[in-house]
Structure formats: structure tokens, C-alpha cells
């Protein structure tokens, strides 16, 4: 088993040796993930939890939803959420021209809004309510995961266990209802295929039809669509909010980079809303986001069973990044990702690596670039004296005491 620890210090997790033998002898020979605690299944049993052939099939079905042209079609949804964030902050700075706020708090709302709109399109208000239930569920599940594991204890009707089970039922019932209605609306031509759920249902249907011609029946059953909808929230909301929050913190600490990024945005987009094409030209903004992902990766650790000893490659390793590995130097990425570390080894993998690389990485980069570009167009920002720098890993790398920022209207 190997630990790919990206962020700070590694911890050791010991797994059952018999189980390990079983997984290592997996005939597919693919790199395997260790099993998860049963509680985690309450969060989602979607793509990220599947292994072997099931994973291969599901990944193939879902991938089209994240292709560039589909993401381009979601630009209006990304823009709507960005405009709401900017308007919210404009109101807060309106009376004095500046204000102090916890950017992390508002950015969490923003990324929840983005994922609801892009996942559910016109049903986004209902989707958002379901995601709010998932938020409550994730807090309760993390409490359980962090306490001592007693097999079967999760079935004892304690107050927390009952709430977890009830939440699960409510989330599943609501999601199934939403999926059923979306399917009917798509079939009757009353809904367009421009959100993640619509694309997922369409890909699944096309795949079923193709397989029926080959006398096979595959496609995606409603239970699996439900699990994937749950996963969109868990995989895409918190990770993205961490990236944008750390970027604001780091740019507040490094005002010269904040200014360089603003100049670039104003040169490419002026004061207009950034277009999808504009985002591809934001070179400095992209370099900054990569350097933030190197120093503050939202997912700090990846664990895999491997067939042979594997060397750890980490984002802060001086061997790959040089003596200034701990410093914020976006210029490292001026030649792109492939040339970034010494000997061009794979030393930068905030989105994972290989076949299981994050399926939503382009989605996340579009979201972060668009939001950052619009924030830079409308505000300058500095750290508040009340900000305390304390990166903390719960499931993702979070600013433990929040991100207190002073915003100035531009
Ligand atoms: C800055 C934002 C993000 C970061 C840093 C990130 C990081 C990662 C990483 C490291 C993995 C691999 C985990 C592992 O294999 O153990 C992963 C997988 C995944 N991510 Fe992301 N992610 C981000 C945003 C998103 C978004 C926005 C979505 C969807 C809307 C998403 C969906 C997924 C899915 C479905 C997987 C599982 C892929 C598979 O197992 O085949 N992620 N992500």
C-alpha cells in the first residue's frame, strides 16, 4: 500500500492484511483504493467508490458530461452564480466602499450554487435543497467516521444514527423524484440537455440503445444516477470552495500577484463578463491557481494499494521543487504543468493522476477562473488583522478559523 501525501505530513493507516492480499490479487491488476468505512456509503456510492469493471463502465458513461463542449454549454449557469456573488459583495461594500467578511463562508455558498445550477438546470432550487440535506449528512457522517469504529453500532437507534438514516431516505426520495421528472421532461422535449443530470440521462440512454443493438443491456439504473448526483455535490462543492478561498488568501498576502492577475483580466475582458474563450487566455490567473493547488491542495492525501513499493512524490518536496518549495511562486508554471518540476517527474497532482484522475478538473478550473476574474474586476482585497493562518484537514484542506478578508470596491 502506498500513501500519496500531497499537502503536509503523512499519517499511517493500517489495513487488514487479509483484505490487502485479496485486493492485491485483483485480476484486473488495476491500482485499487482501500475500502471505506461503511458510514461513508451514506454520502455517495457513486463513481469514486467503484472498483474494477463497474468503475470502468461507469466512468465511460459519465465522462461525456464533462467534455469541453458540454462545459461550454454550462457557461450561463457559472456566470449566474458568479454575478450573484459579486452582487452580494457589492451590497456589503456599498455604504463605506469596503467591508470585512469571511470569504470562505460566502464562497461555500457560491460553489453550492454553482453545482446545483450546473447539475440540475431549471430544477436548481429543488437540487439546492437536496444539497443542503447532504451538507447536514456530511457533518453527521464525519462525526461518526472520526469516532471509534464499532461494527454494527450504526444500526443502534441513537439520535444521530436515526437522523443519518432519515436524512438518507429523504435525500434519495427527493433525488429519485427529481430524476424521474427530468427523464419525463426530456422524453417529451420539455427540457433541454444542458445540465449534468440531463447529460447523464442522455448518455445513459444512448449507451443502453447502443448495447441493445448488440443484445446487451447496460445503461445506468436510477439508483446509480441518484448516487452520481449525490457525488457531484461531495466531489465538487467543498474542493472548489477551498481552491477559491485559498486563492483569495494567498493573493491578499501577495498584492503584487493580485495586481498582475487583475491587469491580465482587465486586458483580456475589460469590465465585461468573461466569456468561455477569454478563460483560455488567462495565463497568469491559471499559473496562480496551479500554484495555490500545489501549496494548498483541497484533497491532501490519496491512498492506494500498489503491487510494488512506490515512491512518494509530494507537492512540497525540495527534491522536485527546489529550495523555495514552500514559497508562492506562480512563475514556476509559466511553461505549463508538464515542465514544472525538476526532471519533469509527476510531482504535481492536485486532481490525482492516471485513469482515476478527477473527472471534474476542467469544471473546477472554469469555475475558479471565472469567479476569480470577476472578483478581480470588481474588488481589491487584503487580509484582515483578525485572520489567523491555520490550514486544517477535515476531509479537505480548510482555513480553520475562516478567511477574514477586507474587500474594497474597485
Ligand atoms: C479544485 C477542485 C477539485 C479538486 C482539487 C479535486 C480533486 C480530486 C482528486 C484528487 C480526485 C481523485 C481522488 C482519488 O482517486 O482518490 C478526484 C476525483 C473525482 N472528482 Fe474531483 N476535484 C475537484 C473538483 C471536482 C468537481 C467540480 C467535480 C464534479 C463536478 C469532481 C468530481 C470528481 C469525481 C466524480 C471523482 C471520481 C473519479 C473516479 O474515481 O473516476 N471533482 N477529484
Residue 302 contacts residue 4 (beta carbons within 8 Å): yes
* Cα distance between residue 375 and residue 90, in whole Å: 10
Across the range 358-383, mean pLDDT stands at 97
Q: Taking each helix axis from N to C terminus, what angle separates 222-253 and 255-269, rounded to the nearest 10 degrees? A: 120
More confident residue, 184 or 371: 371
Any binding-site annotation on 358? yes
The alpha helices in 296-383, defined as continuous H runs, are: 318-321, 361-378
Query: How many angstroms does the Cα of residue 181 sit away from the middle of ligand 1?
Result: 28
| Contact assessment for residue 45 and residue 317, using Cβ atoms and an 8 Å cutoff | no
In this predicted structure, the answer to whether residue 402 has a pLDDT above a threshold of 90 is yes
Q: For residue range 328-355, what is the model confidence (pLDDT) as tens digits?
A: 999 999 998 887 876 666 788 899 887 8
Tell me the backbone φ, ψ of residue 382, rounded to 5 degrees.
-135, 165
Q: What ipTM, to 2 d.p.?
A: 0.99
pLDDT tens readout for residues 259-268:
999 999 999 9
Q: How confident is the model over 185-216, as pLDDT tens digits?
A: 888 887 777 789 988 888 777 766 655 555 45
Place of cell 475558479: 368
Confidence band of 300 (pLDDT split at 50, 70, 90) = confident
88: which residues sit within 8 A by CB, 6+ positions away? 106
Q: Which of 397, 394, 399 is nearest to 146 (CA)?
A: 394
For residue range 375-395, what is the model confidence (pLDDT) as tens digits? 999 999 999 999 999 998 877
Give residue 351 CA to ligand 1 midpoint distance, Å: 6
User: Where do the structural domains in the chain lie, given as residue ranges?
Assistant: 2-409
Lowest-confidence segment of 21-35, 61-75, 182-196, 326-340 by average pLDDT: 21-35
DSSP state string for 5-50: E-SS--------HHHHHHHHT-TT---BPPPPPGGGGGT--SGGG-
**Which segment, 11-25, 42-56, 100-114, 133-147, is predicted with the most confidence on average?**
100-114
3-state secondary structure of 186: helix
Q: How far apart are the first and last CA of the chain?
A: 51
Does the C-beta of 239 come closer than 6 Å to ligand 1? yes
Tell me the pTM.
0.89
Count other C-beta atoms under 10 Å from residue 331's C-beta.
10
Q: Which residue is listed with cell 440521462? A: 201
Superfamily of the domain at 2-409:
Cytochrome P450 (1.10.630.10)
Nearest atom of ligand 1 to the alpha carbon of 297: 5
CA nearest ligand 1 atom 36, residue? 358
Which atom number of ligand 1 is nearest to the Cα of residue 46?
Answer: 35
The pLDDT assigned to 189 comes to 81
Lowest mean pLDDT among 284-293, 310-319, 382-391: 310-319
pLDDT for the residue 32 = 65
- Between the CA of 360 and the centroid of ligand 1 the distance, in Å, is 6
Q: Is the CB of 360 under 6 A from ligand 1?
A: yes
Q: How many helices (H) and strands (E) does the chain have?
A: 14, 7
pLDDT, mean of residues 348-369: 92
Amino acid at each position: 500500500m502506498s500513501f500519496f501525501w500531497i499537502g503536509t505530513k503523512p499519517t499511517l493507516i493500517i489495513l487488514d492484511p487479509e483484505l490487502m492480499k485479496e485486493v492485491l490479487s485483483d485480476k484486473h491488476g488495476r491500482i485499487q483504493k482501500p475500502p471505506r468505512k461503511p458510514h461513508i456509503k451514506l454520502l455517495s456510492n457513486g463513481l469514486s467508490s467503484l472498483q474494477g469493471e463497474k468503475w470502468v463502465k461507469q466512468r465511460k458513461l459519465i465522462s461525456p458530461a464533462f467534455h469541453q463542449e458540454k462545459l461550454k454549454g454550462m457557461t450561463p449557469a457559472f456566470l449566474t452564480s458568479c454575478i450573484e456573488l459579486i452582487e452580494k459583495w457589492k451590497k456589503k461594500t456599498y455604504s463605506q466602499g469596503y467591508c470585512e467578511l469571511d470569504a470562505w463562508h460566502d464562497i461555500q455558498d457560491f460553489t453550492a450554487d454553482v453545482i446545483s445550477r450546473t447539475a440540475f438546470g431549471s430544477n436548481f432550487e429543488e437540487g439546492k435543497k437536496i444539497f443542503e440535506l447532504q451538507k447536514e449528512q456530511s457533518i453527521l457522517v464525519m462525526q461518526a467516521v472520526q469516532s471509534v469504529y464499532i461494527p454494527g453500532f450504526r444500526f443502534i437507534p441513537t439520535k444521530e444514527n436515526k437522523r443519518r438514516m432519515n436524512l438518507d431516505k429523504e435525500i434519495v426520495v427527493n433525488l429519485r423524484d427529481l430524476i424521474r421528472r427530468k427523464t419525463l421532461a426530456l422524453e417529451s422535449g420539455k427540457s433541454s440537455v444542458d445540465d449534468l443530470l440531463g447529460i447523464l440521462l442522455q448518455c445513459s440512454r444512448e449507451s443502453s440503445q447502443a448495447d441493445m443493438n448488440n443484445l446487451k443491456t447496460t445503461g445506468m439504473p436510477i439508483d446509480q444516477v441518484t448516487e452520481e448526483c449525490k457525488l457531484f455535490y461531495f466531489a465538487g462543492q467543498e474542493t472548489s470552495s477551498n481552491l477559491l478561498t485559498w486563492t483569495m488568501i494567498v493573493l491578499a498576502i501577495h498584492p503584487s500577484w493580485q495586481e498582475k492577475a487583475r491587469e491580465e483580466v482587465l486586458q483580456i475582458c475589460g469590465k465585461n463578463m468573461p466569456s468561455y474563450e477569454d478563460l483560455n487566455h488567462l495565463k497568469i490567473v491559471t499559473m496562480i491557481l496551479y500554484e495555490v493547488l500545489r501549496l494548498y491542495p483541497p484533497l491532501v492525501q490519496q491512498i492506494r494499494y500498489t503491487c510494488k513499493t512506490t515512491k512518494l512524490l509530494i507537492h512540497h518536496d525540495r527534491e522536485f521543487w527546489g529550495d523555495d518549495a514552500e514559497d508562492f511562486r506562480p512563475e514556476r508554471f509559466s511553461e505549463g504543468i508538464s515542465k514544472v518540476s525538476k526532471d519533469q517527474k509527476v510531482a504535481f497532482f492536485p486532481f490525482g493522476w492516471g485513469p482515476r484522475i478527477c473527472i471534474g478538473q476542467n469544471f473546477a478550473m472554469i469555475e475558479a477562473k471565472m469567479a476569480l476574474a470577476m472578483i478581480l474586476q470588481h474588488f481589491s482585497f487584503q487580509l484582515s488583522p483578525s485572520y489567523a493562518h491555520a490550514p486544517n484537514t477535515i476531509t479537505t484542506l480548510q482555513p480553520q478559523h475562516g478567511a477574514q478578508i477586507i474587500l474594497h470596491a474597485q
